[in-house]
Chain A
């Protein structure tokens, strides 16, 4: 029932959104709202923080506490909010460039602290807002306006990066696999610790046109046909792995959470001499 989702959780006066036709940002944003709705979270406590980029415009459309920060710094602002008031349900919306290039340091350290923030990465493999420059997740050999002769960089796997850095929940799916995306976001929010959910997304306007990926529908079909669950992928013979991408839950463990630890520290000092 998307109409009630819109009236209950969106700032309708700010719609329509600025995203291009065929962009998958709307799908991922709706998945987040659907997850929040299904979890029955208190809107007054939900705080959505973003950096700079196409996806980072999403909070402006959402009827929560919303904070649109500087490029790459969403997680650092969010860390301050969460530590200052642990009752807030802090969710970060970010893009591949925002979170793994300019904000890469904040990502690994937020993950390391295991602070209870849920990060949703809209990964469209390109800098869309600035017109199609290659990002840290642009595939090698792909084209971008700053990779006119083909990208010679190697891409990051953001989900595995977060998992390795200390996130206690890390999962990837795509903007095609919406139900799975909603499920992962719910699990991420429910995880008491740092969670990262990567949504493989599409940018038909810049990435698609530059790389002749075809229409938005064709790009969605690519997500449908080429993302394979990590467990199934592991069983494939090497020659069948070529051109395939992985999705699924990469990490799900329980560890002490940062703000809990800080509150315990305060508790332990109570009654002690200042």
Chain B
């Protein structure tokens, strides 16, 4: 069979992957630079018997997507900065109600309306802390068009497996640029579908069966007639405000992610074997960083790059281990300092942590990182 090689936009690759992994419901609100995700879903979903709806606002977009997921369809919504802010309350709802969902955020310059057509990585901390209360977050950040495809598949699989909203944090560069991509055959794609109730066994909607990570999920209309709420609830799904129950529930929400970090976290290490200096970068900025590493290596400077692909939970264990042999770390990101705080928290006193970043709509240039590394040295 001949290879299916295409020139594709990041946003296009995302929908291509979503359709292949089984996304059949999309609800959203148009916002630059994510609009292609809505447009392509509107165009393509009906051919698959799937549904697209343009809702009246961003909040309704995620609300309807949660509804679609409860009805049994793999669902997604997409947005950018301002819309991501608006969706936060219902992101928390999907977390506490344990509803699988993929939220794509094609990041642009902020705060507020900011720079609608320019790239940024300003929503890193909002992804983690945007909705109120304690909760685990899974957020993935692709650096290229092929990786957008790959991580969209992963986002759906993780959402279904851990019954939680999963965020795909791309940016205007990755979302809009066209790049070479090889689309795999459907048989080559690993697809995880949510576990359904065990037939013949009494169904408690939030009870975790032995050997499972999360409760099994019935679709509305299948005959289980259960209750879903954003209140703390017990195994029955009905509200309970006892502290003991709240603690049990929170423990479950946190541990379903924290006990499975090895399954969830991925990262890339580039030229770090003999590195004395480490650049940490993610998303499109890692391309600038990789280019800088190549330039610096040509000059004999022993520098490497560590790229978290799973931004949240952060690849803490591995990065702490690496940092033991690294004197200086430079975090490069398109913001004025966000993920750098996480890196500082992780490496503690192992390494000195520096930052290079900008949020004026212009990407970081390889030469700027090169200069900064030399300055530190």
A residues whose Cβ falls under 8 Å from a Cβ of B: 11, 14, 43-45, 47, 49, 59-60, 63-70, 73, 76-85, 87-88, 105-106, 108-109, 262, 265-266, 269, 272, 274
Q: Assess whether B60 is interfacial by the CB under 8 Å rule.
A: yes
Whole-angstrom distance between the Cβ of A157 and the nearest chain B Cβ:
21
Q: How far is the CB of B197 from chain A (nearest CB, A)?
A: 14
Rounded to whole angstroms, the CA-CA distance of A265 and B45 in the bound complex is: 11
Q: Is B73 an interface residue (CB 8 A)?
A: yes
User: Which among B225, B227, B230 is the interface contact of A70 at CB below 8 angstroms?
Assistant: B230
Within 8 A of A (CB), among B213-262: 219-231, 238-239
Query: Which A residue sits closest to B50, measured CB to CB?
Result: A266
A80 & B68 in contact (Cβ 8 Å cutoff): yes
B55 touches A262 (CB 8 A): no
Given the contacts A60-B238, A73-B60, A65 and B55 also touching, CB distance less than 8 Å: no
The verdict on B178 contacting chain A, using a C-beta distance below 8 Å, is no
Task: Given the known inter-chain contacts A14-B238, A70-B93, A76-B63, please indicate yes or no for A85 contacting B46, CB distance below 8 A.
Answer: no
Residues of B within 8 A of A70 (CB): 63, 89-90, 93, 230
Q: Which of B27, B57, B63, B229 has the most CB of A within 10 A?
A: B63
B75 in the interface, Cβ–Cβ < 8 Å? yes
With most chain A CB atoms within 10 A of its CB, the pick from B46, B67, B224, B231 is: B67
Question: What residues on A are CB-neighbors of B73 within 8 Å?
Answer: 84-85
Which of chain A's residues have a CB closer than 8 A to the CB of B71?
80-81, 84-85, 88
CB-based contact B64/A85 at 8 Å: no
Contact assessment for A44 and B229 in the assembled complex, using a CB-CB cutoff below 8 Å: no
Interface residues of B in 58-73 (CB under 8 A from A): 59-60, 63-73
Residue of B27, B65, B66 with most partner-chain A CB within 10 A:
B66
Closest to B47 in A: A274
Q: Could you tell me the distance between the alpha carbons of A83 and B49 in the complex, rounded to whole angstroms?
A: 12
Known: A68-B230, A83-B53, A109-B60. A77 touches B66 (CB 8 A): yes
Asked whether any CB of chain A lies closer than 8 Å to the CB of B51, the reply is yes
A80/B63 contact (C-beta < 8 A), A85-B72, A266-B49 known: yes
Q: Which of A68, A108, A262 contacts B231 (CB 8 A)?
A: A68
Residue on A nearest B220 in the bound complex, by CB? A65
User: How many Å lie between the Cα of A52 and that of B219 in the bound state?
Assistant: 23
Q: A68-B228, A68-B230, A266-B46 are in contact. Are A87 and B221 (CB under 8 A)?
A: yes
Contact between A105 and B63 (Cβ–Cβ < 8 Å)? no
- Is B51 within 8 A of A79, CB to CB? no
Q: Is the CB of B67 within 8 A of A81?
A: yes
A66 / chain B contacts, CB cutoff of 8 Å: 225-228
B56 interface residue, CB < 8 Å from A? Answer: yes
B90 to A, closest residue via Cβ: A70
Tell me whether A269 and B225 are in contact (CB under 8 A): no
Interface centre among A49, A69, A109 (most CB of B within 10 A): A69
Q: A80-B25, A83-B64 are in contact. Are A64 and B225 (CB under 8 A)?
A: yes
Any A CB within 8 A of the CB of B287: no
Q: A109-B55, A109-B56, A266-B49 are in contact. Are A63 and B221 (CB under 8 A)?
A: no
Contact B225 A76 (CB under 8 A): no
Assess the B239–A60 pair: CB atoms within 8 A: yes
B60 touching A76, Cβ below 8 Å: yes
Give CA–CA (A43, B223) in the complex, Å. Answer: 8
Chain B positions within 8 Å of A63 at CB level? 225
Add 9 more A-B contacts to A76-B67, A106-B60 (CB < 8 A).
Answer: A11-B238, A64-B225, A67-B220, A68-B228, A76-B59, A76-B63, A80-B64, A84-B73, A87-B221
Q: Is the CB of B228 within 8 A of A67?
A: yes
Q: In the complex where A44-B221, A47-B220 touch, is A84 in contact with B72 (Cβ < 8 A)?
A: yes
B227 to chain A, nearest CB (A): 5
Q: Quick one: CB contact mask for B82-117 with A, threshold 8 Å, 1 for yes?
A: 000000011001000000000000000000000000
Give residues of chain B (353-375) contacting chain A, Cβ–Cβ below 8 Å: none
Alpha-carbon separation in the docked complex, A73 to B87 (Å): 12
Q: Say how far B194's CB is from chain A's closest CB, in angstroms.
A: 14
Rounded to whole angstroms, the CA-CA distance of A269 and B238 in the bound complex is 42
Cβ–Cβ contact A79 & B47, under 8 A: no
Q: Do the beta carbons of B72 and A65 come within 8 Å of each other?
A: no
A88 engages B220 (CB within 8 Å): yes
Decide: B59 and A73 in contact? CB cutoff 8 A.
Answer: yes
Q: List 28 A-B contacts (CB under 8 A).
A: A14-B238, A44-B221, A60-B227, A65-B224, A66-B226, A66-B227, A67-B70, A68-B228, A76-B55, A79-B64, A80-B70, A80-B71, A81-B68, A81-B70, A81-B71, A83-B25, A84-B24, A84-B68, A85-B71, A85-B220, A88-B221, A105-B56, A106-B63, A109-B56, A262-B46, A269-B46, A272-B47, A274-B44
Does B227 contact A84, Cβ atoms closer than 8 Å? no
A44 touches B225 (CB 8 A): yes
A130 to chain B, nearest CB (A): 15
Distance (whole angstroms) from the CB of B73 to the closest CB of chain A:
5
CB closest residue in chain B, given A89? B221
Contact A44 B66 (CB under 8 A): no
For the complex of A and B, 8 pairs with smallest distance between CB atoms? A80-B67, A80-B64, A76-B63, A84-B71, A76-B60, A68-B229, A109-B56, A81-B67
- Chain A residues lying within 8 Å of B47, measured Cβ to Cβ, are 269, 272, 274
Which residues on the B side are within 8 Å of A49 (C-beta)? 67
Most chain A beta carbons < 10 A, residue from B49, B51, B89, B220: B220
Given contacts A60-B239, A69-B93, A69-B230, contact A105 B60 (CB under 8 A): yes
